[in-house]
Amino acid sequence: MDAVITVPHECAQGRLAGTVRNGIQRFFGIPYATPPIGARRWRLPQPAEPWSGVRDATRFGAVCPQTPGRIDRILGHSRGAQSEDCLFLNIWTPSLVGRRPVMVWIHGGAFLIGAGSQRLYDGSLLAAEDVVVVTLNYRLGAFGFVDLRRASGGVLPATGCEGLADQLLALNWVRHNIADFGGDPDNVTVFGESAGAMSIGALLSAPAARGLFHKAIAQSGAAHIGHDPERAERAGRAFLAALGLERSSAARALEVPAQAIVAAQIAVQATARDGHNPHRLGALPFQPVIDGTLLPDAPITAIRAGSARGVTLLSGTNREEWKLFTAANPKLRLMSRQRFGARVERFARDAAPDLLAVYKGSSAFEQFNAFMTDKVFAEPCRRLLEAQADQGRSFAYRCDWRARLLGGIMGACHAVELGFLFGAYRERLPGAFFGQGADADQLSASLVRAWTSFARSGDPGWPAYERAERQTMIFGDGAPYLAARPQDERRQAFAAIADRRLGP
């Protein structure tokens, strides 16, 4: 049974009662914002009000309303009820005194699902390396990433950046309160995966984020995101239509229940990539919007111009990212070379011969997965590394560990590193997916050591990324090793592809 403790000195809002397990003190469900409910739906978050007495911080707070999918069930459900009152954060710390490096985790989930309370994101393993770990919730899907201001003619306040603004407010909370939990507000590292890493790409470009963090780790996500105003308006119109509303009746959206919001976003997501759908929104219809204020420009463009000058970056991908989404699809497994070629032609006709030339051998299915891994993840990551290397220092990694589920059918897929970074691989059910044994133990130790070393000093333990050598640390079976210019022929084939063609 966990021992219950009370924070011996107050944070800005009041006193907390948390728990201790294996020497790590834990405080869950801390509100960092006023609940974004009622008239506050789709408005920018405001700081949480103080409380009286001692707040119970032994349980996680509610998570943003969502519908978990198959992948979420594999990687672990979020803990906590669902509610629009969801802006909470969680802390793991070795001690309430001292000034330790702080690692703030931003979860992934396609901007639609997930929470800081997922079992997969237990901060204990990292905190045992003498760092303070923070995880947080932010508004998802149509609650946090849809531009309704344009679609409603100004009747609704949503700009499509509310979820990103939540993350910024949480980082502000960390700046002002983390010293009360043994953390150093002058040594904060943001880290995240997938949509969490894409959020970090956006934060690196956001003027309001300057000074809130000092280092960043972007895992399987980069800075090639952000709806331009025209696409953002189309997404807003599609969402209102899914609610059965028009511009003239848009105000009623403030009154519909949260379940109707989730149902409407599912409807938009289901048809987003349908070529016959007039909205044609792409794979992530709900994502941060380039609103001209919080995000003044496309994130990768702003980063190249120096928006995050001085922030040290660690970024990388998994070797076979796309297999998480395709491995169990029998139709795709029967893909022909002709069909693969047609897909590449639609993507970039002029560059198609060069691209097809570097994806050869094995089956068309394997070639397709390699191509999509590069288009959505690897090439945006390379460009982010290069952009930030020009403004400071970047470090690159790649994870080649193959998930063990079903004989390794998913390969070194999207999210496979998470089980080892947070330690979930040691549990029975997650272990069946991620894998266990001596090599798994070594991989976990190597990732934890590199990530916490980076958080501590800005150096994960290998040479910085430079355009000429592109030094990349490879994690997989056995000891990590350094590689120069990995898969460089694929990078060269993508060189002529415009930024707007890359990413999800």
β strands within 349-449, DSSP E: 394-399
In one-letter notation, the amino acid at residue 355 is L
d(CA 123, CA 101): 14
Is 83 among the residues known to form the active site? no
Any residues with CB less than 8 A from the CB of 172 and at least 6 apart, and which?
Answer: 47, 212
Torsion 190-223-293-166 (CA) sign: negative
CA pseudo-torsion sign 382, 386, 388, 389: positive
Q: Is 282 helix (H, G, I), strand (E, B) or coil?
A: coil
DSSP per position, 133-180:
EEEE----HHHHS-BHHHHTTTSS--BS-HHHHHHHHHHHHHHHHGGG
Q: Residue 414 catalytic? A: yes
> Of residues 78, 194, 394, 446, which has the active-site annotation?
194
Catalytic residue, from 84, 193, 233, 321: name it. Answer: 321
Active site residue 194: yes
Q: Where are the alpha helices (DSSP H) in 222-378?
A: 229-242, 258-271, 299-304, 323-326, 330-333, 337-347, 352-358, 364-373
Q: What angle do CA 197, 151, 109 make, to 5 degrees?
A: 20
Residue 410 tokens, joined: 């998913």
Instruction: Check: CB of residue 105 under 8 Å from CB of residue 136.
Output: yes
3-6 and 15-21 beta bridge pairing:
antiparallel
Measured distance between the N- and C-terminal CA atoms of the chain, rounded to whole angstroms = 44
Whether 443 and 476 have beta carbons less than 8 Å apart is answered as yes
3-class DSSP assignment, residue 88: strand
Catalytic residue among 107, 224, 279, 414: 414
In contact, 99 and 45? CB cutoff 8 Å: no
Which residues carry out catalysis? 194, 321, 414
